[in-house]
């Protein structure tokens, strides 16, 4: 299963949202959610958390334990931190990292893959659509 994740904030911090696309052999589903006020890096992490939770919810614990997931993101910082290449300095990101680490245990394998922004345009579009829908809110 392949998941394209993106998170973004307008301003840093600022109004933020996430978007992700879950692709399996049989289908593709898109999701987005407004987060409220947070940082860009926080939103990138939260997109991964929401995606892993959604997969577990859709397929159940038993099926999740048999799945290999590829998380693809254009956040070089998040992917490098999740792969152990970069240290995590911000406390809030450490907490989000731990959440992802714990969620990861529910699956057979989770790979975190950095992709260029051009390959993540659809997830980015979901983020911007969600943020645009909130314009009257802030």
Spans of all domains in the chain? 2-137
**What is the value of pTM for the model shown?**
0.95
Q: How far is CA 30 from CA 2, 4, 21, 68, in A?
A: 12, 9, 4, 19
Task: Please tell me what DSSP assigns to residue 40.
Answer: H
Task: Report how far Cα 21 is from the mean position of its chain's Cα atoms.
Answer: 9
pLDDT digits (tens, 9 = 90+) for 41-80: 999 999 999 999 999 999 999 999 999 999 999 999 999 9
The CATH number of 2-137 is which of 3.30.420.10, 3.40.50.1100, 3.40.710.10, 3.30.360.10?
3.30.420.10
| Cα 65 → chain centroid | 19
The sheet carrying 28-38 orders its strands as 28-38, 14-23, 2-9, 68-73, 109-114
Place of tokens 């969620």: 103
What does the pLDDT look like over 83-137, one tens digit per residue?
Answer: 999 999 999 999 999 999 999 999 999 999 999 999 999 999 999 999 999 876 5
Q: How many residues does the chain have?
A: 138
């Amino acid at each position: 299963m392949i998941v394209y994740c993106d998170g973004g904030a307008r301003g840093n911090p600022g109004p933020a949202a996430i978007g992700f696309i879950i692709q399996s052999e049989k289908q593709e589903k898109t999701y987005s959610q407004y987060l409220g006020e947070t940082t860009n890096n926080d939103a990138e992490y939260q997109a991964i958390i929401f995606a892993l939770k959604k997969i577990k919810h859709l397929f159940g614990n038993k099926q999740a334990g048999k799945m290999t997931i590829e998380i693809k993101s254009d956040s070089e910082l998040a992917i490098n931190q999740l792969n152990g290449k970069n240290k995590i300095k911000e406390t809030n990101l450490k907490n989000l990292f731990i959440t992802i680490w714990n969620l990861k245990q529910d699956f057979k394998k989770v790979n975190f893959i950095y992709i260029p922004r051009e390959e993540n345009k659809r997830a980015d579009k979901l983020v911007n659509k969600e943020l645009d829908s909130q314009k009257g809110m802030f």
